[in-house]
């Protein structure tokens, strides 16, 4: 790789090219106009309005990397990261909906799907169909390969039996990437990825979780009882589902990093505005050095996290190794998001603790960043292995 391409791969925020800047700003303008008025109601009712989902498809953010020949935007992974960040600045629930659609579901189909699978599914995912990624189970969280869901061959297809938990987009999705073990004796080498449609016999979307944060984003259990899946719906190779899972989640962690820096930026926006308006002892609290320095420190941390996220995304698009950078970006961005949201609540004072003001929701939303798509401890272990051998 030439020096010029290396520089291109890590180009920072201040050097976004024109189309990237326009894309990011247009997505944020959409979010500010169409999503912000709905945020509190979506949080209270734990539901995303169907017409908002339609608008997201119309905007083009539900199929960012899908080639134009399949109805998508034909843009880069970096564009997907910018879109998730911009949406999460207004509502992290919408950010993660779009993130899972792009960095997990579409990403997996683009990399592992054969031409027939791409032809059948990508146009739908670009236009009107939401996808979900079903890996986690009751006994399979950080140990993602301790899967209990089983697949057996049956005629010209397979039957899947098991229960998946914590599945983002479960309530809205019509297509699910489901991981099941076809050969338990082979351990993780028996894991296979299947494309399951909501209409398949034996498939049911179960309980929706009542969550602390990102409440509008549905998190559901999936029940598979001899669910019939045709052989043509195997994603990748039989027994190679572990590769689909690992490589997709590595990219997905960059998407969660984007969600978290968007959340942190939203909390910072609210904080700056409020501290200029709130007066104590005859002047705005933004004029107090203690307040200014707290905000300045977290703003610096946010910029560092943003550059880590952008760098990881640039490296991925450039075809360079990015595993360490993805783990670093996720752990730092999730920690910064929690600190920024906590500071926002503190500086709002009593108002920060009530639902009439926006920052208590962001504080609740921030916690999940250190848990899903690989806990902080798992990210630290990944980083340690990479840098220490």
Q: At residue 239, what are phi and psi to the nearest 5 degrees?
A: 80, 0
Q: At residue 73, what are phi and psi to the nearest 5 degrees?
A: -85, -20
Whether residue 381 lies in the annotated active site: no
Q: For 249-264, b where at least 16 C-beta lie within 10 A, e where not — what string?
A: bbbbbbbbbbbbbbbb
**Residue from 85, 137, 338, 373 carrying the catalytic annotation:** 373
Q: What is the Cα–Cα distance from 137 to 388, expressed in whole angstroms?
A: 31
- Is-contact 84 258, C-beta < 8 A? yes
In residues, how long is the chain? 389
| Strand-pair partners of 132 | 176
Residue/partner pairs of 141-147 with CB below 8 Å, 24 or more apart: 142/374, 142/375, 142/377, 142/378, 144/245, 144/249, 145/187, 145/188, 145/191, 145/242, 145/245, 147/179, 147/180, 147/181, 147/191
Q: What is the Cα–Cα distance from 110 to 129, expressed in whole angstroms?
A: 16
- Is-contact 214 260, C-beta < 8 A? no
Longest dimension (CA), the chain: 79
Q: What angle do CA 127, 233, 149 make, to 5 degrees?
A: 110
Q: What is the Cα–Cα distance from 318 to 316, expressed in whole angstroms?
A: 5
- Find the helix or strand (DSSP H, E) in which 59 lies: helix 50-59
**Residue 193 is encoded by which pair of tokens?**
């990825």
Q: What is the Cα–Cα distance from 340 to 362, expressed in whole angstroms?
A: 9
Note the helical H segments in 278-374. 289-317, 323-348, 359-366
DSSP state, residue 280 = E
Q: What is the Cα–Cα distance from 290 to 309, expressed in whole angstroms?
A: 29
Catalytic residue positions, numbered: 373
């Amino acid at each position: 790789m030439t020096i010029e391409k290396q520089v291109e791969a890590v180009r920072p925020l201040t050097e976004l090219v024109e189309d990237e800047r326009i894309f990011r700003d247009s997505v944020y303008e959409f979010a500010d106009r169409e999503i912000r008025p709905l945020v509190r109601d979506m949080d209270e009712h734990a539901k995303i309005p169907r017409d908002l989902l339609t608008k997201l498809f119309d905007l083009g953010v539900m199929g960012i990397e899908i080639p134009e020949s399949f109805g998508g935007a034909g843009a880069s992974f970096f564009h997907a990261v910018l879109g998730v960040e911009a949406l999460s600045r207004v509502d992290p629930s919408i950010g993660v909906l779009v993130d899972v659609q792009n960095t997990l579901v579409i990403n997996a189909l683009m990399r592992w799907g054969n031409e027939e699978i791409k032809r059948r599914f990508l146009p739908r995912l670009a236009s009107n169909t939401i996808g979900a990624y079903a890996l986690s189970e009751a006994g399979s969280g950080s140990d993602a390969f301790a899967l209990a869901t089983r697949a057996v061959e049956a005629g010209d297809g397979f039957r899947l039996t098991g229960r998946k938990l914590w599945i983002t987009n479960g309530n809205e999705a019509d297509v699910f990437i489901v991981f099941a073990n076809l050969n338990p004796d082979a351990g993780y080498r028996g894991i296979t990825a299947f494309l399951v449609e909501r209409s398949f016999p034996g498939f049911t979307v179960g309980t929706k979780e009542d969550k602390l944060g990102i409440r509008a984003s549905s998190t559901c259990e999936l029940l598979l009882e001899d669910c019939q899946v045709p052989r043509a719906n195997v994603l990748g190779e039989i027994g190679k589902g572990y590769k689909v899972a690992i490589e997709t989640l590595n990219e997905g962690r960059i998407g969660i990093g984007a969600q978290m820096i968007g959340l942190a930026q939203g909390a910072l926006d609210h904080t700056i505005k409020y501290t200029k308006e709130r007066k104590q002892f005859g002047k705005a609290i933004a004029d107090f050095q203690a307040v200014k320095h707290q905000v300045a420190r977290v703003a610096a941390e946010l910029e560092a996290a943003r550059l880590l996220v952008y760098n990881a995304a640039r490296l991925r698009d450039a075809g360079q190794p990015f595993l360490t950078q993805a783990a670093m970006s996720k752990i730092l961005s999730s920690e910064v998001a929690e600190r920024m949201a906590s500071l926002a609540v503190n500086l709002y004072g009593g108002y920060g603790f009530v639902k009439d003001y926006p920052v208590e929701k962001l504080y609740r939303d921030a916690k999940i960043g250190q848990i899903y798509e690989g806990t902080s401890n798992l990210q630290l272990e990944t980083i340690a292995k990479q840098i220490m051998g």
